[in-house]
A and B are shown apart, each in its own frame.
Chain A
Amino acid sequence: MNGKSELTERYIALYKENIDKISSISSPYLNSFRKAAFEKFSTLGIPTKKNESYKYTNLNIFFDHEYKNYFIPEESDFIKAEEFRCDVTELDTHGIVLLNGFYPTINEKLLQLPSGVWIGSLNEAAVKFPEIIKKHYARYAGSESDGLINLNTAMASDGVFVYVPEGVTLTKPVQVVNLVQSDEDMFNQHRNLIIVEKNSVFSIIICDHTLSPRKFLTNAVTEVYVGENAHFDLIRVQNEHNSAGKMTHTFIHQEKNSVASSNNMTLHGGLIRNSTYHYLGGERAECNSYGLYLTDKWQHVDNFVNVDHAFPNCTSNQLFKGVLDDMSTGAFNGRIMVRPDAQGTIAYQKNNNILMTDDAKMDTKPQLEIFADDVKCSHGATVGRLDDDALFYLQSRGINKREARLMLMFGFAHEVIQNIKVEALRERMDNLVMQRLKGELSRCASCLVKCG
């Protein structure tokens, strides 16, 4: 059958069966991309280990499964979303809740904050702001190599839209809580678009939660435009249960003199793949890509980072750290591309991992492609155990071994957490990570829907 895998055929059939339904609730502009994306997906398929960037991750466990599909949101579902409150009370944010990838219908679908910033539903924005959407939608999500991005473009119909006009500094971050809730195993996709115009400052926190103990698979694409001289921070906190699979593809396009950071904090989740693409599309742009993953049991966390230095005198910095316990596994793939014109590039990459057991496994792969000659580049990766000397140093001061190990692991993780600029969130992450390392953090720790 055309050489396509059975798995890919399953999703091709899914598209064919549901495309009319999806199109009926989506704005025409979003629909205009579907056919081409579907055709591309049909060619590329669901990535396998033969695909270099998915070499260490087996997607079949989550993709080869019968899911209920969630194409049309139900009003009753959003009442549950309404009940959800983030318990970080000192965290002062503009909150948005997405349920199964959709923006709640019972609220205003697009909201303008006093500062002029628009937040709301992407599908709604595609109708209300056609010019903005046309300028940015599907412009940054590179579709040539990864079938999952095309699958998202072909079928996703909603997600978060943020528009920060020129010269606006939003001191409060926007917090998006992604909830997944269903009584059946469920597959959902959503699409976010964030536009930060020039000279603006904006940060967004995306928290991923699961609310019911079913098997879930999410495939989400986020596109971000960071205008000239703008500052953008993205913090993603992943705390789903171990039957949840999460694929995120984040594209951050930067103009000159802009600064952008992405921080993927993975606390829980069954199979997680975070692909983060940074495009330095103007001189003197700077990007930071951070990640922290704490895994145990059979979890697998894969971080793929692609930093594209397309213009001169840009700086990039990658820092990813992981603590892997039990038989959990992880992968890090960090690519740095320095194009021929990108003289004066500075690019750093660091990936450090601690394996707590003999069964835990980590694959780490730097990939540097440098086509300019005036470049300062460094990369380093370590996979090891806790430092015995450091452990003894703490014990020699009267701290018991268990506590000493915790302190060392926490210190290791803190190097990533300290880059979070929102203080309340930084403290919250410190607490969550400490609880996680102690084994006290259950997936329900931050959930008010007490489902038992």
Chain B
Amino acid sequence: MLIINNLKASINGKHILKGISLNIKPGEIHAIMGPNGSGKSTLASVLAGREFVEVNEGSVVYLGKNLLEMSAEERAKEGIFLGFQYPIEIPGVSMVNFMKTAVNEHRKHKGLESLSASDFLKMMRDKKELVEIDSKLANRSVNEGFSGGEKKKNEIFQMAMLEPKLAILDETDSGLDIDALRIVANGVNKLKRPDNSFIVITHYQRLLDYIVPDVVHVLYDGRIVKTAGKELALELEEKGYDWIKKEVENNVIA
């Protein structure tokens, strides 16, 4: 589904990603963990098409296409979804109008007719139930005045509406209490299918109690320094990141 090869990227001339390679197959959940400042969010931004990140080297192939040549909206319509670490408040733009526009753009891209108003509202209702979000949220402006937990749930709701093939969840668990965390994780589990994949970026192991990853990567200083099964997450929770940092430094010396 997604093949990243030796990806190097910088922001304002500062090198953040220093050669990342990843191969994600349909149906897989990959967790990317790592200490603050290791480049996790930058990787998410590159994949979603944020313009301020400059790609210096390497390639990203998504479903056989060069992802880096596509605009952010094309990527979205091709099935990439970014769950934001900090969802943006947009006063004056209603959730209904926002989602209707987005869903119909996706449908147009697939050669489908726009949804009728009643079909669309039914879809909203169904998806709201699926991800257990308060139905009142949908009547408000996008994220405006939402609590931290509501914003994150709203990201999962949008994901449910757009049914992506590859969802990248950037620290969706940060700032969530245990109930919200459970709702977010349940949402992901319900949306998981054999033909779609997830990249779950997280700082803590906590979320991975609910979303069980197939592969865990540790990102440190712009590189993936360790890849293993889900047991790696537990090890990190227990020992912290220091032993990884030491291992990396020893390798560099060796």
Contact = CB atoms under 8 A, between A and B. Distances in A.
Interface string B98-125: 1001100110010000000000000000
Dominant SS among interface residues on chain A: helix
B93 A410 contact: yes
A404, A412, A418 pick with most chain B CB within 10 angstroms: A404
Interface string A399-424: 11101100110111111001000000
Contacts of A403: 101, 105
A389 interface: yes
B92 A398 contact: no
A396 to B, nearest CB: 5
Interface stretch (B69-77, B129-137, B199-207, B220-228): B69-77
B88 A389 contact: yes
B90 A395 contact: no
Nearest to B109: A398
B82 A394 contact: no
A348 B84 CA distance: 34
Given A390-B88, A415-B92, A398 B97 contact: no
A392 interface: yes
A396 B72 contact: yes
B48 interface: yes
Contacts of B75: 396
Contacts of A393: 84, 87-88, 90, 142
A397 interface: yes
B91 interface: yes
B50 interface: yes
B38 interface: no
A414 B142 CA distance: 13
A306 to B, nearest CB: 27
Interface in A271-303: none
B210 to A, nearest CB: 24
A408 B49 contact: no
B156 interface: no
B201 to A, nearest CB: 15
Contact of A398 (B77, B87, B90): B77
B97 A407 contact: yes
Interface in B46-99: 48-51, 71-73, 75-77, 81-82, 84, 87-88, 90-93, 97-98
Contacts of A396: 48-49, 72-73, 75-76, 81-82, 84
A397 B76 contact: yes
Given A393-B84, A396-B48, A397-B98, A411 B92 contact: yes
B87, B88, B109, B142 pick with most chain A CB within 10 angstroms: B88
Contacts of B48: 396
B73 A400 contact: yes
B162 interface: yes
Contacts of B197: none
B90 A408 contact: yes
Contacts of B42: none
Nearest to B72: A395
B158 A411 contact: no
A413 B90 CA distance: 12
B158 A397 contact: yes
A396 B86 CA distance: 14
Contacts of A394: 90, 98, 102
B10 interface: no
B166 to A, nearest CB: 13
Contacts of A389: 88
A399 B108 CA distance: 11
Contact of B105 (A398, A413, A415): A398
A411 B109 CA distance: 25
Interface of B: 48-51, 71-73, 75-77, 81-82, 84, 87-88, 90-93, 97-98, 101-102, 105-106, 109, 141-142, 158, 162
19 contacts: A390-B90, A392-B50, A393-B90, A393-B142, A394-B98, A395-B71, A396-B73, A396-B76, A396-B82, A398-B77, A398-B106, A399-B101, A401-B73, A403-B101, A407-B93, A408-B93, A411-B90, A411-B141, A418-B92
Instruction: Pick the 4 closest A-B CB pairs, nearest first.
Output: A411-B92, A398-B76, A411-B93, A414-B92
